Amino acid sequence: MRPAPPALSASGFGSAWFALCVAFALHIFDEATTGFLAVYNPTVTALRESWGWFPMPTLDFREWLLMLIVACGLLFCLTPIATRGMPGLRPLAWVYAALMFLNGLGHTLFSILGHTVSSVTFPRPAPGFYSAPFLFAASVWLMVRLRRTACVDFQLPSGV
């Protein structure tokens, strides 16, 4: 009997990981083209005024975009490891899926509200809203794959 392809193996979560990387890349494009920083930076400034300890930085477009492209590229590079179901990647996969789920939730919530904090309003939908459904779907798929493969042994590539 022929084994399943690596992306569909019992221990792997590579397809779902890859889908979330694609959704994240789409989300970066969505935010970059809809003026995300025009909402993000004033929100951070307002939150710092309220809570001096607020840890998020204000960013300029170039550094923000470069940081996200590098992060997304690194995550794409981990796809082969996710495909093999490497146990050491599982905690990162859970964090990645949860953050992207919350990211999509935030864009959806702020679109409904029409503001982030009371002083930062914007026309609806919020920047980054159009890609939020893809973040939801891909992050839920990754969480489901992680749950389903939780007790499956790590698969070494053939020939090792």
Structural domain spans, the chain: 10-148
Using N-to-C axis directions, what is the helix angle for 132-148 and 14-33, rounded to 10°? Answer: 160
Arithmetic mean of pLDDT over the chain: 89
The DSSP symbol for 121 reads B
Of 13-17, 25-29, 119-123, 138-142, where does mean pLDDT reach its minimum?
119-123
pLDDT band at 150 (very low <50, low <70, confident <90, very high): confident
pLDDT band at 7 (very low <50, low <70, confident <90, very high): very low
Where does residue 93 rank: exposed (0-12), middle (13-18), buried (19+ CB within 10 A)?
buried
pLDDT band at 24 (very low <50, low <70, confident <90, very high): very high
Residues 38-45 have a mean pLDDT of 94
